[in-house]
């Protein structure tokens, strides 16, 4: 179901209104909220363009560290050399650096999109702009999406304007079981978006994986196991692949990638939904104990939450999944995330199966809905602090990068957002945003198109873009 069909009786926890689909109305609302930020802040916002990393202190903030701790009123965050050096209450502002008064507004780390195809897709229906899948490739696990990423694609700016500063980008599918190696990226306005290449390996189980493996789950698990065993044999004796041709079970590039999965260097993101499939995936750690599993989807995860928690495996969920749209998702419920978290599972909120290239900003709404669920009789959700962590530090931890991204703890990257309201409210928007300590523009191509055609004079063509 779409995000709008899932807004059961005002599933929000305060008075926010839905994001306006009318770009003109959205722009008007944004201009009105920015008017309240004060002259200095508006001037700074007008100059929000790519620049070198700067030293800045944001003071008088309702500060969210992003690690699950409660917001701090009157907080300060200091960024120097592109890194957070201090954040919290009573933080002293070093002399000689830029000082921005947040005016009591919310200041948070940037959103970390737990699952995305940003940079791989420009127009979904146009194959020439879509590099998410390589279904005709002879390679699978060895595929590396990094060279295909396009930092100049319009979805980058659109998602940045929604407060997303980092994304875990996952390949779509290949001609075999494994889809390939994903990356962690930033959404800064520059030509290098890759933060960490080859950050994960992705594989789809369940109905999708079964279809690729020969038509049944039995074939799926056998193929998965045999490819890992082939990679392990290759690691012990690389010469074993010298005699294998193009029709071999596994190619050398694929084996190299899977060796890093087997030894735990690369996390393995597994798309799996049915409860029994989840249990079978967890059993793989018995034979391959170093596997760093991350479950993606886990629609029926709440049915086996204790098993997932005992295995210490994090989960990426889409919290608006509440209808059984397939036989492997018969147990779908919006309480999935809350029940998993209550059992001790590390939960991240991701936007997948819902325009994961263009609308990663939905993550704030998803997290807000989980907060609202705590007030629904019989439902399970997340507290505000935990919900925000599910879209910041939790996905960073799932991909093994919580020491560098996802929060405002000292030493993390200087990804900071000043919001015009509570970031989990539907109508909230970023007012200012930094990535790696560099202030970023919040203007998108859609904004420029709106302005270009807003007031055309009869008989006069709109002004062309500046060259």
The pLDDT tens digits of the residues spanning 241-273 come to 655 555 567 888 999 999 999 999 999 999 999
Residue 450 pLDDT class (50, 70, 90 cuts)? confident
| Domain-wise residue ranges, the chain | 21-109+425-453, 111-409
Residue with tokens 């004079």: 457
Report, as an integer, the average pLDDT of 400-405: 97
- Let me know: does 373 contact 381? Beta carbons within 8 Å: yes
Residue 321 pLDDT class (50, 70, 90 cuts)? confident
pLDDT of residue 289: 95
Query: Among the listed ranges 327-341, 355-369, 375-389, which one has the minimum average pLDDT value?
Result: 355-369
Ramachandran assignment for 66, one of left (phi > 0), alpha (psi -120 to 50 degrees), beta (any other): left
Cα separation of 399 and 293, whole Å? 10
Give the whole-number percent of the chain exceeding pLDDT 90.
66
Domain 21-109+425-453 -> CATH class: mainly beta
CA distances (Å), origin 150, targets 36, 169, 243: 36, 12, 37
- Could you report how far apart the first and last alpha carbons of the chain are, in Å? 43
Q: CA triplet 308, 314, 316: central angle to 5 degrees?
A: 110
Per-residue pLDDT at 125 exceeds 50: yes
Residue 452 pLDDT class (50, 70, 90 cuts)? confident
pLDDT of residue 131: 83
Residue 419 pLDDT class (50, 70, 90 cuts)? very high
Per-residue pLDDT at 208 exceeds 50: yes
pLDDT of residue 45: 40
Per-residue pLDDT at 184 exceeds 50: yes
Cα separation of 82 and 295, whole Å? 32
Report, as an integer, the average pLDDT of 113-140: 86
Residue 461 pLDDT class (50, 70, 90 cuts)? low
Report, as an integer, the average pLDDT of 214-219: 91
Mean pLDDT of the chain, nearest integer: 86
* Distance, CA of 116 to chain centre: 6
Query: Among the listed ranges 33-42, 71-80, 207-216, 254-263, which one has the minimum average pLDDT value?
Result: 33-42
Report, as an integer, the average pLDDT of 266-289: 96
> Is residue 460 classed exposed, middle or buried when 0-12, 13-18 and 19+ CB atoms within 10 A define those classes?
exposed
Report, as an integer, the average pLDDT of 39-44: 41
Residue 313 pLDDT class (50, 70, 90 cuts)? very high
pLDDT of residue 463: 60
pLDDT of residue 465: 56
**Domain 111-409 bears CATH identifier 2.60.120.1440:** no
- Let me know: does 116 contact 357? Beta carbons within 8 Å: yes
What stretch of H or E contains 235?
Answer: helix 217-236
Query: Among the listed ranges 10-14, 343-347, 364-368, which one has the minimum average pLDDT value?
Result: 10-14
pLDDT of residue 372: 96
- Top mean pLDDT of 231-245, 317-331, 449-463 is at 317-331
Two structure tokens written together for 399? 């991909």
Q: Per 3-state DSSP, what percentage of the chain is helix, strand, and coil (rounded to 5)?
A: 30, 20, 50
pLDDT of residue 458: 65
- Let me know: does 423 contact 388? Beta carbons within 8 Å: yes
Higher pLDDT, 460 or 289: 289
pLDDT of residue 137: 85
Per-residue pLDDT at 308 exceeds 60: yes
Residue 121 pLDDT class (50, 70, 90 cuts)? confident
Q: Can you give the pTM of this predicted structure?
A: 0.85
Residues facing 432 on adjacent strands: 418
Cα separation of 415 and 424, whole Å? 18
Query: Among the listed ranges 17-31, 82-96, 161-175, 195-209, which one has the minimum average pLDDT value?
Result: 17-31
């Amino acid at each position: 179901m779409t995000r709008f069909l899932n807004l059961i009786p005002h599933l929000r926890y305060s008075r926010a209104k839905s994001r306006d689909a009318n770009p003109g109305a959205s722009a008007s609302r944004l201009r009105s909220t920015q008017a309240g930020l004060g002259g200095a802040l508006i001037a700074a916002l007008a100059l929000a363009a790519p620049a070198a990393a700067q030293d800045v202190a944001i003071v008088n903030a309702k500060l969210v560290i992003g690690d699950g701790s409660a917001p701090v009123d009157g907080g300060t965050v200091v960024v120097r050399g592109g890194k957070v050096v201090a954040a919290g209450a009573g933080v002293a502002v070093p002399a000689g650096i830029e000082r921005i008064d947040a005016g009591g507004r919310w200041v948070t780390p940037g959103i970390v999109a737990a699952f995305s195809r940003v940079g791989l897709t420009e127009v979904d229906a146009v194959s020439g702009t879509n590099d998410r899948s390589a279904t005709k490739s002879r390679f699978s696990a060895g595929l590396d999406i990094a060279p295909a990423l396009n930092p100049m694609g319009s979805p980058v700016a659109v998602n940045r304007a929604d407060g997303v500063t980092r994304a875990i980008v996952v390949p779509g599918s290949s001609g075999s079981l494994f889809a390939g190696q994903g990356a962690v990226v930033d959404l800064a306005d520059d030509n290098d978006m890759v933060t960490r290449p080859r950050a994960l390996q992705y594989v789809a189980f369940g109905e999708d994986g079964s279809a690729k493996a020969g038509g049944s789950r039995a074939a799926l698990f056998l193929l998965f196991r045999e490819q890992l065993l082939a990679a392990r044999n290759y690691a012990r004796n690389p010469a074993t692949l010298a005699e294998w041709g193009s029709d071999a079970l596994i190619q050398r590039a694929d084996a190299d990638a899977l060796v890093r999965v087997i030894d735990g260097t690369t996390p393995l993101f597994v798309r799996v939904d049915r409860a029994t499939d989840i249990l079978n995936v967890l059993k793989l750690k018995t034979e391959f104990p170093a596997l760093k599993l991350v479950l993606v989807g886990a629609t029926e995860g709440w049915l086996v939450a204790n098993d997932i928690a005992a295995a210490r495996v994090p989960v990426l969920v889409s919290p608006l999944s509440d209808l059984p749209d397939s036989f492997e998702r018969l147990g779908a419920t919006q309480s999935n995330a809350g029940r998993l978290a209550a059992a001790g599972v590390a939960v991240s909120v991701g936007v997948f199966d819902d325009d994961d290239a263009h609308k990663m900003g939905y993550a704030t709404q998803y997290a807000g809905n989980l907060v609202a669920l705590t007030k629904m009789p019989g439902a399970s959700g997340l507290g505000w602090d935990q919900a925000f962590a599910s879209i910041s530090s939790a996905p960073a931890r799932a991909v093994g990068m919580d020491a560098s991204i996802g929060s405002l703890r000292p030493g993390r990257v200087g990804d900071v957002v000043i919001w015009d309201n509570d970031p989990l409210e539907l109508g909230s928007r970023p007012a200012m945003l930094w990535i790696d300590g560099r202030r970023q523009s919040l203007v998108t191509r859609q904004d420029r198109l709106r302005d270009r055609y807003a007031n055309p004079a009869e008989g006069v063509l709109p002004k062309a873009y500046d060259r």
